[in-house]
Amino acid sequence: MTVGLARARSSLHFVRIAQYRRLYSTRPPSLTLLGKEYPTDSTTNITDAIADKVGRNLYTDPAHPLGILHVLVSSHFHDFRSHVGLPPVVTPAQNFDDLGFPPDHPGRAPTDSYYLNRDAMLRTHTSAHEVETFARGERRWLLAADVYRRDEIDASHYPVFHQMEGARVFGADEAGRAEVEADNARLEHHLARSNIVIEDVPHISATNPRQEAHDPVMAELVAKNLKLSLNSLMLTLFGDRGGVNEGEPLRVRWIEAFFPFTTPSYEVEVFFRGKWLEILGCGVVQQRTLDRARVPDSISWAFGLGLERIAMILFSIPDIRLFWSQDPRFVSQFTAGQISTFKPYSKYPACYKDVSFWLPGSGLHDNDFCDLVRDTVGDLVQDVVLIDYFTHPKTNRRSKCYRINYCSMDRSLSNEEANAVHTQVIANLKDKFGVEIR
Ligand code: FA5
Ligand code: MG
């Protein structure tokens, strides 16, 4: 949802738990996912709409745009070992603690992540598998997987998406230094001959520091290797097909970022159709991750990229919901090994319906509203926008108004049908959250 309001997260935490109790007061004692049974508790918040997507593994189909892209990235890093099919249920320790997320990090809240119970959750990123993969002693690896986040609803956000994680380990000794220097020379040579314009930031700076444990020269060389490796990937993905901007050179921008499990850290953006789009996050792996994985005397970089974001650019796919479509008019357009331009088979009219209500005393989080809509109407919702939020000056009661855009990807939705689903949304909203419709 395109919400311009700041989210006051932690102060509302205890209020949200009350809200969850109400929402899931009728929850069954256990739930089964991928053949395994999980006892439920007050953190359980996985919805049927989400459970339905678990196990689909879209990226393993070689003729699906996500699968085509997965193959393309894997062949670019052809000497990296590639992992697929890791189960999506992880512990909060794997997803957060092992990576150094602080105990009060907002991503941990049940408003932001899907929990089966307090000890089992759907991974929110592929970094959840870093420790176990490093622990296998692999020096170059890739990993693709479905990830889950409670989020806004619009054309580029979906609660299930796919990431690829990649990492490379160097020895923290003379041999490691020689290896990284040779690889940097090779990559610089390759990039110098290409039509790519890179806006860079310093590899290491006061705001994006190296780690104490690292030799300064080696830290600089490894950060540089990370950037060269990913610039080279961007060239494979976007540059070699005449660029994404019709004859213009490919423009890539590096930005300082922050992740609890890397420093220095960066994000990469690509200029596409007049806008900068964030494609991936990356950095030099925090030494405690390698320590936990028992990989001694080494230094590593890692990245995590969003497959949908890149596929939307490469295949001109306008709406993130389409990746889940089984409509032959979608699936038949793609061929293994080929990047092709998606031809929209129809553009159905949008149907906007507003709902205004007084909030219950405990409030209502935007993500709870979005999940309720998604669970009620499935993929008939295209986007949700909070268009009004105010507090009554006398009574102090708070009111919200959301605008829901109902639009099917595959057919025309009649106004009667849109009214019917909207009525059901309102009924569920009253029922589950106790709101008062205005
Ligand atoms: C991460 O998930 C980090 N784990 C990345 C990382 C890995 C950093 C290794 C350092 C080392 P982030 O939340 O920014 O970072 O997501 C990474 C990418 O996933 C984004 O750049 C974007 O391409 C994609 N992404 C994130 N949220 C969504 C979403 N809701 N829908 C589609 N793609 C998304
Ligand atoms: Mg990011």
Nearest atom, ligand 1, residue 124 CA:
2
* The pLDDT of residue 241: 60
Is the pLDDT reported for residue 199 higher than 50?
Answer: yes
Q: Is 160 helix (H, G, I), strand (E, B) or coil?
A: strand
* The pLDDT of residue 386: 92
Say how many Å lie between the CA of residue 270 and the centre of ligand 2: 13
Ligand 1, atom 31, residue with closest C-alpha: 157
Is the pLDDT reported for residue 242 higher than 60?
Answer: no
- Pairwise CA distance, residues 196 & 198, whole Å: 6
Summarize the chain as % helix, strand, coil (round to 5): 35, 25, 40
* The pLDDT of residue 247: 66
pLDDT level of residue 271 (50, 70, 90 thresholds):
confident
* Dihedral pair phi/psi, residue 277, rounded to 5°: -115, 130
Q: Is 222 helix (H, G, I), strand (E, B) or coil?
A: helix
Say how many Å lie between the CA of residue 123 and the centre of ligand 2: 16
Say how many Å lie between the CA of residue 162 and the centre of ligand 1: 9
Among candidate residues 105, 88, 96, the one with its CA nearest the CA of residue 51: 88
Nearest atom, ligand 1, residue 159 CA:
30
Q: Is 209 helix (H, G, I), strand (E, B) or coil?
A: coil
Say how many Å lie between the CA of residue 125 and the centre of ligand 1: 7
Instruction: State percent of the chain over pLDDT 90.
Output: 78
- Pairwise CA distance, residues 176 & 188, whole Å: 18
Is the pLDDT reported for residue 42 higher than 90?
Answer: yes
352, 409 Cβ separation under 8 angstroms: no
410, 325 Cβ separation under 8 angstroms: yes
**Domains detected in the chain:** 47-92+126-331 (3.30.930.10), 351-437 (3.30.70.380)
Count of CB atoms situated within 10 Å of the CB of 81: 14
Say how many Å lie between the CA of residue 307 and the centre of ligand 2: 13
Nearest atom, ligand 1, residue 125 CA:
2
Ligand 1, atom 26, residue with closest C-alpha: 306
**What is the pTM assigned to this prediction?**
0.86
* The pLDDT of residue 4: 29
Q: What is the pLDDT of residues 312-326, one digit of tens each?
A: 988 989 889 999 999
Given ligand 1 and candidates 163, 272, 321, 324, which is best to mutate, with the most ligand atoms within 8 Å of its CB?
A: 163
Pocket lined around ligand 1, Cβ cut-off 6 Å = 125, 127, 149, 151, 157-158, 161, 163, 165, 259, 262, 278-283, 302-306, 308-309
- Pairwise CA distance, residues 240 & 235, whole Å: 6
* The pLDDT of residue 410: 83
- Pairwise CA distance, residues 267 & 421, whole Å: 39
Q: What is the pLDDT of residues 362-419, one digit of tens each?
A: 899 999 999 999 999 999 999 999 989 999 999 999 999 999 999 988 888 889 999 9
165, 126 Cβ separation under 8 angstroms: yes
